[in-house]
Amino acid sequence: MIKDGECLDDLQNGLFIIQKKDGFKFGIDAVLLADFAKDARSRNTLDMCSGTGIVALLLSAKTDTRNICALEIQPDMAEMAQRSVLYNGLSDRVHIKAGDIREAENIYGRGAFDKITCNPPYMKCGDGLQSESGAKSVSRHELLCTLDDAVSAASRLLIPKGRFFLVHRPARLADIICAMRTYNIEPKRVRFVHPSYAKAPKLVLAEGIKDGGRELKILPPLYVYNSDGTYSEEINKIYGREGK
């Protein structure tokens, strides 16, 4: 089930994930996104831009949602994610598909989900170094999926009052809010993620509600490290490292 050039990583929650040894691997952003979205009750959840399937796997452990779908545009990544699902015995709950989120309405149908998560590429084409090739470049740069594509697709796929959860870069926050309102997803909660107390945020978590009323809450910041370089109490809790 594990191919040459791949490894099996322990998620420390009873689950395992297959990843490329030298390819794109999930980061803290995916872990924080799954945690940010976990408390919203759901019957049908979709994770867009799923990559290795990490958010779908984490949500299967953090929630009792019976139907968790994941959509990934790169067929080889989707196939690898499907093997992770099989390895963990989650085929009855987690369903991976290869496909373009711009065609997601044709795949799943309009209004098929009450919760959607998304960890899209952060960088616009032409921004930053784009010397990477293959999965890494597609995962990090808006080559096949833009922020606008993601929010537009989420709007079509959500039921009224359905919830959309996104992780992105703080520099794109204005774009996020504008895109949400353009596609009738009202921004409801925003939380900045800082490396430590003295540093500017590196990530932003945002939640919106389809056809929701206008009220935005800025949540307390999340700090990854304490001043002494150790992980913060909240990060240890998110990763399930309490008391270890």
pLDDT tens digit at each of 244 positions of the chain: 899 999 999 999 999 999 999 888 899 999 999 999 999 999 999 999 999 999 999 999 999 999 999 999 999 999 999 999 999 999 999 999 999 999 999 999 999 999 999 999 886 655 555 445 555 554 454 466 899 999 999 999 999 999 999 999 999 999 999 999 999 999 999 999 999 999 999 999 999 999 999 999 999 999 999 999 999 999 999 998 865 5
Coil, strand or helix: which one is 204? strand
Cα 30 to Cα 32: distance, rounded to the nearest angstrom: 5
Domains of the chain: 16-238 (3.40.50.150)
In eight-state DSSP terms, residue 243 is T
In eight-state DSSP terms, residue 13 is S
- For 181, the token pair is 């309102």
Contact 29, 167 (CB under 8 A): yes
The β-bridge partners of 46 are: 69, 116
User: b/e per residue, 42-65, with b = 16+ CB within 10 A?
Assistant: bebbbbbbbbbbbbbbbbbebbeb
The β-bridge partners of 203 are: 193
> What are the Cα distances from residue 102, in Å, to 15, 118, 147, 148, 156?
30, 13, 11, 10, 10
pTM of the model as a whole:
0.92
- Separation of CA 94 from chain center: 15
